Amino acid sequence: MGLSFRGEFNQKVDGKGRMSIPADFRVVLTDGDPRCPETPLPRMVVLHGKHLNNCLHAYTIEAMEEIEAGIKALPRGSEARKRASRMILGKSWDTEVDKDGRIVLPQRLRQQIGLTGEATMAAMGDYFEIWNAETYAETEAAEAVAMDAEFDGDFDPLTLIYPPEKPSKNPPESE
């Protein structure tokens, strides 16, 4: 198992779409690119499309290979394979991080998420999201309000991973 993306970073995006990839993320991209370190510039795959709800998803080459293997495992000609292929493979863009640690995000992808001025890159473990910084802040604030309402202000995110055990329906038998 390779390294994971962790953290949240804001980066400036210039008028040509150039943006720096955080150094911590570049380490993960390098670890997840089989041609590195022989070729020092790591590649990444960016997924886009309306189904991603205002952000882009960026994967390492190895993570994208796992996703592609999942698609190839679906029966040829099946609706599931067609949908997955269109929404994932058809909505992907391959790029390489340049020697200065930047990528140039195409205008069509910037427009899709309303990206101008500043991007937020949020780690999601095996991928990271790229957002317009304002949209991300609004989305995160709305999620926090919803969590407070659902859990009455007392929420520990570790409970998403380790939910409390439910009591058994059958009492233990006495000896």
Q: What CA–CA distance (Å, rounded) separates 87 from 71? A: 11
Beta bridge partners of 18: 104
**Would residue 45 count as lying in a domain?**
yes
- The predicted structure's pLDDT at residue 132: 97
**Would residue 171 count as lying in a domain?**
no
**Would residue 22 count as lying in a domain?**
yes
**Would residue 137 count as lying in a domain?**
no
**Would residue 154 count as lying in a domain?**
no
71 is written with which tokens?
A: 């698609």
**Would residue 67 count as lying in a domain?**
yes
**Would residue 156 count as lying in a domain?**
no
Residue type, 74: L
- How many separate domains does the chain show? 1
**Would residue 159 count as lying in a domain?**
no
Estimate to the nearest angstrom the gap between the alpha carbon of 78 and the chain centroid. Answer: 26
Residue type, 164: P
Mean pLDDT by 10 residues, the chain (175 residues): 90 96 97 93 96 96 97 97 97 97 97 96 97 96 87 77 67 56
Instruction: Measure the N-to-C terminal CA separation of the chain; round to a whole number of Å.
Output: 46
Question: Which domain does 84 fall in, by range?
Answer: 8-132
- The predicted structure's pLDDT at residue 28: 97
Q: What CA–CA distance (Å, rounded) separates 73 from 50? A: 25
Pairing assessment for the beta strands 55-59 and 127-132 based on DSSP bridges = antiparallel
Q: Domain of 36: which CATH number?
A: 3.40.1550.20
CB neighbour burial string for 74-97, b if at least 16 within 10 angstroms, e if fewer: eeeeeeebeebeebbeebbbebeb
- The predicted structure's pLDDT at residue 115: 96
Preceding amide of 37 cis, omega within 30: yes
